[in-house]
Structure 1
């Protein structure tokens, strides 16, 4: 379509009138939001001077959310462009006052209030201008057709029946009629751009939401993996391990009852019994490493005591985790200590290990100290790297201090949610 065609069609296009409605409705909503936020803001300021902040500020934040919902509905209905909401994490805090203050300090809240005030200041005159231009255009363009019904002179002294006056008024009407569409479209585009800038999630918000979603997915995956470990442990304990135990017992009975057989034949029974016992021992160790049932039943203290008792070095264990953390965190702590002690037994050449597991508010702190030869590093071997990956997957932090000659100190902090 040519430029002339676009100009001639502009006043009659649906998009032009939708832009006009957007500005007019925006002006009405702007008057409401500006008045509401101004009045409530003034009340908040007066109460703040009097030392009362919590309740008035909460009301202001609620009004800001309501105004934002009205403007989002306006854009969705008149532009067909819903403005996505910024997903906010609920503000934490021990009291209502601290939560309200934390919410008030969030950038998205300030942006909501800013748009509520700015839309009122900008769209109220924008509505007046657009309605004035449309009125001039729609009434001035055809004025020659109904000039006979008008008085000869108006209040300004214009001779409305004079050809020159009619030509001037018609020209002004045509200019407004065909120029107003571009004005209202520009105002609507500006309104939408400002709304997206202040109400829609920014790139930082998108990244923060993505990180939050990934963190939640990671937690769900860890929970699912722990649940699957528990299921496999139960299946092995109640099925395979029981049958293998029964087989070992039967072979033990056969070993005693068939002791009169020739040595070569009796040796086959003895070897089968020994092999069954060895397999049973290995299976128990595998099941215990997969997920210890004692961890669910009796907690970290009992589970870690079992690991310490099997270590070939002296272990001093201290556990103070009251109240108990979430099962996922307990499992992570158990496997962290288990992996650390495995590394001590294999590489440290230590004589003594001290293990301290303590709950400090919302953190679970694990400290493993051995008097071995030191020199441990995350870059050497896979054990410590696997330990670090397990800690990070649980949302924790790992620090290793291991100078050559020892001692080696491994410190782990995990988020502790009961």
Structure 2
């Protein structure tokens, strides 16, 4: 990867596009350029299977005439004036959207911080292949591993340029490096598979390829010879951090302002009430230096700030973009994300803050329960909170992991689950969603 973004030329082009939109009839407009560069290599059983490289600069223009809005997208090389005219013509025949509009001028960022998100390290395809091969070899070397699903390594970057007609102009870029491997243990109908991975903004921070491979192999072998367990109610279920991140994602979905406005969240009437077990906090910080999901400004040019979304179990904030905030009679908190030609609210560096006890102490305190390492299926209803997922993991007996378990289903309602969470202290903040090991009491387990 070369320079972060050729920001001067892209900003100039975006500014021209906005100016032209105003000249041909728009009341207001913004232009976005999303730049991406990526290179990846996948291998299997010691051979390179695929090498990919891609580059794109995707332009989009959003124009407003009163409350009528239209958006158009284009690739580099388009005619600026034609694109502006097309967008304005579309807006003139579009139905009114009472909540559409740019962010309020008072909210746009006049300056924004450098969050140290970009690593210019160039990684060759050969080096990516070497890392993937090393990860796979280390996984295959673990006793009991019988085959490979494949391994991969990638390097890339993404950048955003944003210009608005009411004075915002800015850009930033973030790099991304990753390594992953998946393997199989056992033979025939008794095979099990698992994987491990790492993803970082800075190349030097990546876990060693051999370490990733070793972890993948060991995770897989531990799953051999699983048993089923009897159906039971009031089972304490422990989610390992990898699975717990998905659980925190459900919390984020339930407090997303767009879902609340659409009345598709089961927490839509719960602002100011206790929705999570007392003592627990959910934080979100877009300005974390070197944060996996950091951004100096959002997709509307608003600079967000660190917030405690749920404090001591009490719901304090929704994730809000300008349009979602208007619909709810509130004010944006800088969580707008560009998705194609639309803006919708989303979390940034989201975390379920850790508790005080170690995961080992948490498991010992449970005595008997189920430790989940993987969830299967999408059985979560965000309208009602009903939760039902297939699961694999390990049975807990006498406060220790006793034997592997598969082909079970865990079920409850997220409203109840949120109130029964106990968090350990082993949080890893390298991903955009961070969570420690958590235990949830009172779930139903369907087994044999």
Bin for the TM-score computed over the shorter chain: under 0.3
Q: When you count helix as a share of all residues, which structure comes out higher? A: 1
Q: When you count strand as a share of all residues, which structure comes out higher? A: 2
| Structure of greater relative contact order (alpha carbons < 8 Å, 6+ residues apart) | 2
| TM-score, normalised with respect to structure 1 | 0.21
